[in-house]
Structure 1
């Protein structure tokens, strides 16, 4: 056990992993600070609505469009059966999509494939742009894709890795905060048509159970993704 701890500490103190740790601290500050969270929450909303859209298509539903709003809320509209597994899976997908995207990105970064992660995100944003139905949504997706494109084209490999790690941390940490925000809104009676409440009506399982499930997915993703970023070879 002592040797395992020493090896883990040695890896953590590697210069690349110290950079990954700093990126994690920066991401935590960005998520916790209200002035930075409000604009950057648009990135989380994009991933959230993208999760709804992808699962809707995979479950055989027709995707009608995605709207992203300036208050950082979003709406994904799909048509199909109003009940059944397809609708349930579509509603479930939004919140965990953010954390799972961060987890997948962390795996790519620690596998020395940060360029795959960045270009993969750009490709997903380009596809999402085809489904966005309002001007603010188009602006949000284009700006996000433009930033990632600039990093991919202009930054050196080491800076690409650092920026990709920062994005992963932001998604892993930021994926949890909206669930807490939803819980506070529900306690005030202001979220009666939330994903969790719609799932409760469809399945009979309480909304709190779905929120707990999303928290667990987010926490596991954060622990595993953080481990990969901090203790795997290099960032």
Structure 2
């Protein structure tokens, strides 16, 4: 138990720049190649809906459940006042959520705590699992959680660090693509119940401006994450 706790609280050696760049390239492949993206986008949905749920809890709304669907869409239901700052914060959290989680992960990795990051992710997935209300969502979180657990429990320090960097890059790089897909769906006449359109109805600010806010936050997180990764000088 002492060794286990030491592995979580101790900083690990920094990976080589080759590993950092290599994991970024793999993450780009997982995002850019459409057959893979159809699968890996489920991770983005988990982060997206998890961000909705986290903010809903923080602003005092009653979280009623989360559903994840096979088309990589999702919905988070919370009870409370349907208007006001709290509801706006919940709707605003979704699309920037993966980027902000990725930025938090990048900060943790910059301090050398790859193992702590993976165990923290596992705890977050367990909490999320308690809120899932459909079978596909349950399956998605369990499969992703099993992958993270397997690498965290049996992986060597090098494997753990590489996976933590891969996941961090994936979150940072996938967030802008999800925002682009949102705007494409809106242009095609779909997505009219999206977070951006719900924010328009609540605030009167055009939905396209909210899409722009999502994109700016995602790109800012990516830029800062690149600096923290050591790829570029800080």
TM > 0.5 fold call = yes
Please report how far the alpha carbon of residue 232 of structure 1 lies from its aligned counterpart in structure 2 after TM superposition: 8.2
- Secondary structure of the residue that 1:81 maps to in structure 2? coil
Compute the RMSD of aligned alpha carbons: 1.4
TM-score, normalised with respect to structure 2: 0.91
**SS state at 2:95 partner:** helix
**1:55 maps to 2:55:** yes
Cα distance in 1 for partners of 2:226, 2:36 equals: 22
Q: 1:136 maps to what in 2?
A: 136
Distance in structure 2 (CA, Å) of the matches to 1:90 and 1:147:
29
Q: What displacement does 1:231 show?
A: 4.0
Aligned residues: 220
Instruction: Give the structure 1 partner of residue 67 of structure 2.
Output: 67
- Structure 2 gaps of 5+ residues are 1-13
- Are residues 232 and 32 of structure 1, via their aligned partners in 2, closer, same or farther at CA, if it must alter by over 3 Å? closer
Counterpart for residue 33 of structure 2: 33
1:10-49 to structure 2, matched below 5 A, reads 16-49=16-49
8 Å CA contact 1:110–1:232 kept in 2: the answer is: no
Q: Distance in 1 between matches of 2:231 and 2:178?
A: 28
Work out whether residues 122 and 148 of structure 1, in 8 Å CA contact, stay in contact via their aligned partners in 2: yes
TM-score computed with the length of structure 1 as normaliser:
0.91
| Mapped contact 2:20–2:231 kept (Cα < 8 A) | no
Gaps in structure 1 of 5+ consecutive residues: 1-13
Matches within 5 A, 1:74-113: 74-113=74-113
Q: Give the corresponding residue for 2:6.
A: none
8 Å CA contact retained: 2:45, 2:68: yes
